[in-house]
């Protein structure tokens, strides 16, 4: 089997998160071994008996997998027979950081934590980037969002069955639009009311910093 094919087989069998693998090329013919070492020069091979040892690096310093392929292809072109084998493999540690939950799932969790008889909400959405303010406002326009002073985000009202504010389902659909656009953020309930029964009005009025919202 050609050395390039041997490397392809080794690479296919490596852990998907491999970073470095040590390789040994055994060449029985001593005179051809010297030539193989010269062709492997960029990989800095070391000699150990009938074997040449070098490493492939996926990132950082050293020769990468494609460079190894090219070097072995040169050896194949000169019809130097050898056996390639893999030794130690360094694998990158899996990240312990969990991805942030989507805004839609955060909304579901927020509603699940509310009392069963909730009727009206004032919700605060803080985006992680001020660059997302204008396009984000368009995506959640049905919620009639109000800009927050000093922070990249909005406030909006949600009414469970009637009155001021968007429905819970509409709020979720708008948050899904932000998720689809990969706009991350945090949700927070600023005010909540339960079992409200307004008479002669469309719902409660909250005052924040002296302003009705």
Percent of the chain with pLDDT over 70: 88
pTM over 0.95? The answer is no
In angstroms, what CA-CA distances link 108 with 187, 194, 195, 198, 213?
11, 18, 20, 26, 24
| Residue 169 pLDDT level (bands cut at 50, 70, 90) | very high
193 or 170: which leads in pLDDT:
170
Q: Per-residue pLDDT for 164 more than 90?
A: no
Domain map of the chain by residue range?
A: 3-91, 103-195
At 83 the three-state DSSP class reads strand
pLDDT of residue 162: 79
pLDDT of residue 60: 67
CATH architecture entry for 3-91: 2-Layer Sandwich (3.30)
From CA 156, how far away is CA 166, in angstroms rounded?
Answer: 8
201 or 149: which leads in pLDDT:
149
CATH topology of domain 103-195: Alpha-Beta Plaits (3.30.70)
What digits encode the pLDDT tens for the residues 50-103? 899 999 988 767 788 899 999 999 999 999 999 999 999 988 876 544 556 799
Least confident of 12-16, 26-30, 91-95: 91-95
Query: Hey, do 3-91 and 103-195 end up sharing a CATH topology, with the first three levels equal?
Result: yes
Q: Per-residue pLDDT for 177 more than 70?
A: yes
Could you tell me if 73 and 19 are in contact, meaning their C-beta atoms sit under 8 angstroms apart? Answer: no
Q: Per-residue pLDDT for 200 more than 90?
A: no
Element (H, E) at 154: strand 153-159
For the chain, give the mean pLDDT. Answer: 87
The mean per-residue pLDDT over the stretch 156-173 comes to 90
Burial of residue 7 (CB within 10 Å: 0-12, 13-18, 19+) is buried
Q: How far apart are the first and last CA of the chain?
A: 75
């Amino acid at each position: 089997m050609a050395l390039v094919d041997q490397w392809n087989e080794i690479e296919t069998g490596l852990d998907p998160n491999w970073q470095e693998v040590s390789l040994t090329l055994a060449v029985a013919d001593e005179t051809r071994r010297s030539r193989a070492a010269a062709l492997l020069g960029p990989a800095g091979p070391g000699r150990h008996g009938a074997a040449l040892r070098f490493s492939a690096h996926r990132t950082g310093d050293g020769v990468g997998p494609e460079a190894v392929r090219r070097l072995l292809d040169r050896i194949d072109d000169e019809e130097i027979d050898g056996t390639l084998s893999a030794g130690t493999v360094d694998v990158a540690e899996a990240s312990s950081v969990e991805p942030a939950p989507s805004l839609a799932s955060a909304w579901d969790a927020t509603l699940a934590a509310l009392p069963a008889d909730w009727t009206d909400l004032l919700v605060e959405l803080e985006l992680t980037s001020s660059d997302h303010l204008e396009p984000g406002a368009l995506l959640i326009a049905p919620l009639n969002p109000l800009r927050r002073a000093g922070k990249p985000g909005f406030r909006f009202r949600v009414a469970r069955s009637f009155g001021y504010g968007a429905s819970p389902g509409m709020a979720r659909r708008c948050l899904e639009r932000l998720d689809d656009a990969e706009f991350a953020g945090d949700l927070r309930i600023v005010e909540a009311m339960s079992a409200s029964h307004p008479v002669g009005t469309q719902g409660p009025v909250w005052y924040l910093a002296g302003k009705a919202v």
